[in-house]
């Protein structure tokens, strides 16, 4: 291969970078690679790249030289300072018109800043959300590009060839200007947190509350994955529950410490939702529960002081009858978690000028990503019929789908409360749904209180204008 012909460059050979480099090479593209520590590059070439059209640069300069002009460089380094450092080192080696693509989970405000900075230097930039973990990157991820439309057109054929496919369509679409791609990926992760929390709560309810064995749980989730709950996260839950620890022979899940770590994308989703005044309580709860799980010593002390652990209580004696209700309640709560994330995307699209096409977003999420599920097809259908829906629940079909299962959701929440098993994700989903369909909420009392102590004034239901009452005689 001549030394000036790589179609695309991959900078950073961590798990995601090397998997995506192999993926693109398998689709017939010539890939130039570079990694700061050279041993990693050597190992990659020796152990994985063999026989594929992959060429490495031993220095960053050599890497820049083996790329076709105008260059396209995909950066796969951890979000935050490493992205800025990498871009700073790369800039002097690039020519005007070259393209830089940040493939990490970058904060959207960093993406906007980098976009402006690179545009000032005559360079193109894309913020590309990549979902699907290692195996997704290797065989077909879901790709969420945002930034310059011209930049997207330049690498569109490579991204389309390398993305997951559903019904022949690639799971990639240009989502909008600026940080649109990274924003959509952030909310994808916020929804991911919400769905994972709901599934974890259902597991806790069955295990601690109903005393089902891990083996029974594994077969329950495997069965659920064949039905309405069909999704990647339910599928891997069944697989996780099936796995036995090699050392002890016990279910591995029971030996894993109950401290949930986080890199930050779920928290960013909640923080921006607060800034945009868009309620996403189930996604917020998922972040809160990860934080609570991390305070293990505090929980252990509280458990000693405040009484026995929940568990082994009966569920009105009828576990068999409860399982299908939990299945339906979980479906309803999952619809509500997706709906919260999507209503945030709609608001962000208006506030930040992304011009998001929600059927394109849901189309990209149908395959390759962590939140892919049969449900997304229905949500996509709702946005196809009514692209301007502010919230997918306002579509009659989806609204009815939750309404039909509301009693199941209530049953899950009330059973859990009686058993003392915490299900704040389910509770928040139910409360959000009920609040949303309340034409009147008790904010009138809050407004009266504000006016009472601070003369903040209130509006009336029967008259235009703002009013103040002298509350104390
Ligand atoms: C994906 C995942 C991926 C990553 C998360 C984990 O879409 O492939 O979301 O991006 O696994 O960043 O996030 P936490 O560390 O915050 O759980």
The confidence score (pLDDT) of residue 47 equals: 93
Cβ atoms 329, 229 nearer than 8 A: no
Beta bridge mates, 139: none
Atom 11 of ligand 1, nearest CA residue: 133
d(CA 187, CA 139): 23
Q: Which residues of 76-152 form beta strands (DSSP E)?
A: 99-102, 124-131, 142-147
d(CA 150, CA 411): 52
Neighbours of 314 (CB within 10 A): 12
The confidence score (pLDDT) of residue 315 equals: 55
d(CA 457, CA 178): 39
Ligand 1 centroid, distance to 17 Cα (angstroms)? 15
Q: Which atom of ligand 1 is nearest to the CA of 370?
A: 7
Ligand 1 centroid, distance to 176 Cα (angstroms)? 22
Ligand 1 centroid, distance to 190 Cα (angstroms)? 10
Query: pTM for this structure?
Result: 0.96
d(CA 252, CA 407): 34
3-state helix, strand, coil in the chain (%, to 5): 60, 10, 30
Could you give the C-alpha distances from 268 to 143, 185, 207, 229, in angstroms and in order?
A: 20, 11, 31, 27
Cβ atoms 281, 342 nearer than 8 A: no
Residue 146: what are its φ and ψ, rounded to 5°?
Answer: -145, 155
Residue 166: what are its φ and ψ, rounded to 5°?
Answer: -130, 125
User: Which positions are annotated as active-site residues?
Assistant: 185, 192
Atom 4 of ligand 1, nearest CA residue: 133
SS3 318: coil
The confidence score (pLDDT) of residue 308 equals: 64
Residue 165: what are its φ and ψ, rounded to 5°?
Answer: -130, 140
Please name the residues in contact with 99: beta carbons below 8 A apart, sequence gap of 6 or more.
70, 71, 72, 73, 123, 124, 125, 126, 151, 154, 155
d(CA 56, CA 65): 11
Choice from 265, 283, 286 to test ligand 1 binding pocket (greatest atom count within 8 A of CB):
265
Question: Residue holding tokens 């800039």?
Answer: 91
Cis peptide before 234 (omega within 30 of 0): no
Q: How many CA atoms lie within 13 A of 436 on its CB side?
A: 22
How wide is the angle at C-alpha 196 spanned by C-alphas 192 and 420, nearest 5°? Answer: 145
The confidence score (pLDDT) of residue 312 equals: 46
Q: How many CA atoms lie within 13 A of 360 on its CB side?
A: 18
The confidence score (pLDDT) of residue 316 equals: 53
How wide is the angle at C-alpha 184 spanned by C-alphas 181 and 186, nearest 5°? Answer: 110
Nearest to 124 by CA among 67, 86, 71: 71
d(CA 189, CA 262): 11
Which parts of the chain sit beneath pLDDT 50? 1-2, 311-312
Q: Which atom of ligand 1 is nearest to the CA of 264?
A: 16
Q: Which residues of 21-150 form beta strands (DSSP E)?
A: 31-34, 54-56, 72-75, 99-102, 124-131, 142-147
d(CA 282, CA 332): 12
Q: Which atom of ligand 1 is nearest to the CA of 193?
A: 17
d(CA 324, CA 293): 28
Choice from 164, 263, 365 to test ligand 1 binding pocket (greatest atom count within 8 A of CB):
263
Cβ atoms 13, 77 nearer than 8 A: no
d(CA 261, CA 259): 6
Cβ atoms 234, 326 nearer than 8 A: no
The confidence score (pLDDT) of residue 187 equals: 98
Could you give the C-alpha distances from 73 to 12, 90, 218, 398, 434, in angstroms and in order?
A: 10, 9, 43, 41, 48
Pocket of ligand 1 (CB under 6 A): 105, 131-133, 189, 192, 262-263, 265-266, 369-370
Domains of the chain as residue ranges with CATH:
8-177 (3.40.50.720), 185-436 (1.10.1040.10), 442-473 (1.20.5.320)
CA R_g for the chain: 25
Ligand 1 centroid, distance to 171 Cα (angstroms)? 18
Ligand 1 centroid, distance to 185 Cα (angstroms)? 10
d(CA 259, CA 302): 16
SS3 124: strand
Could you give the C-alpha distances from 301 to 289, 292, 304, 310, in angstroms and in order?
A: 17, 13, 5, 15
Could you give the C-alpha distances from 95 to 102, 241, 368, in angstroms and in order?
A: 18, 52, 34
Cβ atoms 130, 120 nearer than 8 A: no
d(CA 289, CA 427): 13
């Amino acid at each position: 291969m001549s030394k000036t012909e790589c179609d695309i460059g991959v900078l950073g050979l961590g798990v995601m970078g090397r998997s995506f480099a192999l993926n693109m090479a398998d689709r017939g593209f010539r890939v130039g690679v570079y990694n700061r520590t050279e041993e990693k590059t050597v190992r990659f070439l020796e152990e994985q790249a063999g026989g594929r059209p992959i060429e490495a640069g031993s220095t960053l300069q050599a890497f820049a030289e083996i790329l076709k002009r105008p260059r396209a460089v995909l950066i796969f380094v951890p979000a935050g300072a490493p992205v800025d450092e990498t871009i700073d080192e790369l800039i002097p080696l690039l020519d005007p018109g070259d393209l830089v693509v940040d493939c990490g989970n970058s904060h959207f405000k960093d993406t906007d800043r980098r976009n402006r900075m690179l545009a000032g230097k005559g360079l193109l930039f894309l913020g590309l959300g990549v979902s699907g973990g290692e195996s997704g990157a290797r065989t077909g991820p879901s790709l969420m590009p945002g930034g310059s439309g011209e930049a997207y057109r330049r690498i569109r054929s490579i991204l389309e060839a390398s993305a997951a496919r559903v019904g022949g369509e690639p799971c990639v679409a240009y989502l909008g200007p600026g940080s649109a791609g990274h924003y959509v990926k952030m909310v994808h992760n916020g929804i991911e947190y919400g769905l994972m929390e709901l599934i974890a709560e259902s597991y806790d309810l069955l295990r601690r509350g109903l005393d089902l064995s891990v083996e029974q749980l594994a077969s329950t989730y495997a069965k659920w994955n064949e039905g309405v709950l069909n999704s990647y996260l339910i599928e891997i839950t069944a697989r996780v529950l099936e796995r036995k620890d090699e050392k002890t022979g016990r279910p591995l899940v029971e030996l894993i410490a109950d401290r949930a770590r986080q890199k930050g994308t779920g928290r960013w989703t909640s923080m921006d939702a607060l800034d945009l005044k868009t309620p996403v309580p189930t996604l917020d709860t998922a972040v809160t529960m990860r934080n609570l799980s991390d305070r293990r010593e505090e929980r252990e002390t509280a458990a000693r002081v405040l009484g026995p652990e929940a568990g082994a209580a009966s569920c009105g004696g009828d576990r068999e009858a409860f399982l299908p209700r939990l299945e339906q309640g979980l479906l309803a709560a999952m619809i509500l978690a997706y709906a919260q994330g999507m209503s945030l995307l709609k608001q962000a699209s208006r506030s930040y000028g992304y011009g998001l096409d929600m059927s394109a977003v849901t189309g990209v999420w149908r395959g390759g990503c962590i939140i892919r599920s049969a449900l997304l097809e229905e949500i996509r259908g709702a946005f196809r019929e009514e692209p301007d829906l502010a919230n997918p629940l306002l579509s009659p079909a989806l609204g009815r789908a939750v309404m039909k299962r509301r009693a199941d959701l209530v049953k899950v929440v009330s059973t859990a409360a009686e058993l003392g098993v915490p299900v704040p994700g389910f509770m928040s989903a139910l409360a959000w749904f009920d609040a949303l369909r309340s034409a009147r909420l008790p904010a009138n009392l809050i407004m009266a209180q504000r006016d009472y102590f601070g003369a903040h004034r209130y509006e009336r239901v029967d008259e235009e204008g703002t009013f103040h009452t002298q509350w104390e005689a």
